[in-house]
């Protein structure tokens, strides 16, 4: 099958990886060549690791890399399926779907890797709503086995069957979810992560204690704040905004501390700073913040030295929501 992947970030690169390894001819598109080159370099590194561990043969690695065609500009794409994997921003995704509608043959299925946005709304900007569907991979794509499949209100049964078969070909277990904000996965997961940020903001526990409780007490492989850093705090915020707008229920309101981290450019692992310090490629505890996750301040209102003991601002420490 010929597959176009739009977006060469963490998700798009991972989708291109599993598609090419499964035998698909893949075109990987992003707005700049450096993003595509970076995704292919990451793919090569991950496939090399697979060879070292005996999970991938050298021949399969080379064949997969040979099936990737880079692209850094819009043109006509003769593909069977196009998978959009851009940032979780509805207007951006709508724009991409308009371009896909104009740049691919009428037969092409247009799929979105969105983790929360309505498939019906994305389909409405195209002339082929019956061939628009959600195909939500999990991160990291080469490792995680699940793909959520979401039909819009006009999605044709054949579109669903084709995408379900493609997910199986990619080595995934497809699960169908209804077209509600957040679908199944993020309607359940993201409020939990957001509540962990509230617990941090209110001083219920430190970053390390919150994550340790969930790992050892609930048998989660990764604590919620570490997972939020891994997903991307900007992505978590975007999903929470979709949930609170879509359901109109204040229980989904994003934590103010989460919004402040995103405003500061602390998006987690991908930017080097989040609830943990990821600079240098390894996770370390942050020493520049108080137990409530905010910068430390001395008694005169100036920033305290890194690691100094200080109290959080009253509105945060007292749990203002």
Catalytic residue (choose from 17, 136, 170, 267): 136
Q: Exposed, middle or buried, 75 (CB in 10 Å: 0-12/13-18/19+)?
A: exposed
Could you confirm whether 25 is annotated as catalytic? no
Could you confirm whether 130 is annotated as catalytic? no
To which residue do tokens 């006009």 refer? 154
Catalytic residue (choose from 148, 202, 226, 241): 148
Could you confirm whether 17 is annotated as catalytic? no
CA-wise closest residue to 136 among 153, 161, 109, 115: 115
CA-wise closest residue to 150 among 189, 109, 180: 180
CA-wise closest residue to 200 among 174, 226, 166: 226
CA-wise closest residue to 278 among 200, 207, 190: 207
Catalytic residue (choose from 115, 118, 179, 194): 115
Could you confirm whether 186 is annotated as catalytic? yes
* C-beta pairs of 270-275 under 8 Å, 24+ apart in sequence: 270/10, 270/232, 274/228, 274/229, 274/233, 275/200, 275/207, 275/225, 275/226, 275/228, 275/229
Catalytic residue (choose from 186, 194, 241, 267): 186
Active site residues: 115, 136, 148, 186
């Amino acid at each position: 099958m010929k597959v176009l992947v739009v977006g060469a970030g963490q998700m798009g690169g991972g989708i291109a990886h599993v598609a090419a390894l499964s035998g698909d001819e893949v075109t990987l598109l992003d707005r700049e060549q450096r993003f595509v080159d970076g995704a292919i370099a990451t793919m090569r590194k991950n496939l090399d690791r697979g060879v070292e561990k005996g999970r991938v043969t050298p021949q399969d690695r080379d064949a997969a890399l040979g099936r990737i065609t880079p692209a850094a500009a819009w043109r006509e794409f003769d593909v069977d399926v196009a998978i959009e994997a851009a940032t979780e921003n509805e207007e951006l995704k709508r724009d991409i779907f308009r371009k896909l509608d104009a740049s691919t043959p009428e037969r092409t299925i247009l799929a979105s890797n969105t983790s929360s946005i309505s498939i019906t709304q994305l389909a409405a900007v195209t002339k082929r709503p019956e061939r628009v569907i959600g195909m939500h991979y999990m991160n990291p794509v080469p490792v995680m086995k699940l793909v959520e499949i979401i039909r819009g209100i006009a999605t044709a049964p054949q579109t669903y069957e084709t995408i379900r078969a493609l997910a199986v070909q990619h080595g995934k277990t497809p699960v169908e979810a209804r077209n509600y904000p957040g679908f199944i996965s993020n309607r359940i997961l993201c409020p939990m992560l957001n509540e962990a940020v509230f617990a941090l903001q209110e001083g219920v526990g430190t970053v390390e204690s919150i994550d340790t409780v969930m790992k050892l007490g609930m048998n989660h492989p990764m604590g919620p704040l570490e997972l939020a850093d891994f997903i991307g705090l900007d992505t978590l915020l975007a999903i929470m905004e979709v949930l609170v707008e879509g359901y109109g229920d204040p229980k989904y309101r994003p934590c103010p501390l989460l919004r402040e981290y995103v405003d500061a450019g602390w998006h987690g692992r991908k930017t080097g700073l989040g609830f943990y310090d990821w600079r240098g490629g390894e996770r370390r505890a942050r020493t520049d913040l108080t137990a409530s996750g905010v910068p430390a301040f001395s008694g005169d209102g100036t920033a305290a030295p890194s690691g100094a003991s200080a109290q959080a601002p009253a509105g945060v420490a007292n749990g203002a929501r």
